[in-house]
Amino acid sequence: MTEVQKRRIITLRSQGLSYKQVGDELGLTKDSVKMFCIRNGFGGSNITINGKTCPWCGRFLKQLKGKKKRRFCSSLCRQLWWSKNRDQLNHRKTIEQVCPTCGKRFEAYPSDGRKYCSHKCYIIQRFKTIH
């Protein structure tokens, strides 16, 4: 079996073709296609692979028919990925703001609608506008 054939098997299986259909397409026997799939962890008639890989370990994702699409191959991979990426994701969501009272730059979440770097600056500004 060549590398090209292996890649084709993965592609065709991800499109939902059966072992036999894939075999016919590539001139391989049904059994050799089946063996390849089982050895690489995506055997089983009700399992297809969607051509996507787990962002943590890079393994192909198995997809159970009729089930919600998975992003990770296991819950462990999901946990590890999130623990590593949570900080970055949160950081990306903040925007830089300039406090109108003291001119200091600070990071804030857009959803917070914060205008001032601190409550103190907010009070000072409010005091100014009242008078």
Q: Judged by CB under 5 A, does residue 77 bind Zn ion?
A: yes
Nearer to Zn ion, 18 or 81 (CB): 81
Task: Select from 6, 3, 13 the least CA-distant residue to 44.
Answer: 13
Q: Determine phi and psi for 97, rounding to 5 degrees.
A: -120, 155
Minimum distance from residue 74 beta carbon to Zn ion (Å)? 6
Size of the site for Zn ion (CB under 5 A): 11
Nearer to Zn ion, 9 or 73 (CB): 73
Angle at 50 between CA 87 and CA 93, to 5 degrees: 20
Q: Judged by CB under 5 A, does residue 10 bind Zn ion?
A: no
Q: In 15-110, which ranges are continuous DSSP H helix?
A: 19-26, 30-39, 75-93
Chain positions contacting Zn ion, by CB under 5 A:
54, 56-57, 73, 77, 99, 101-102, 104, 117, 121
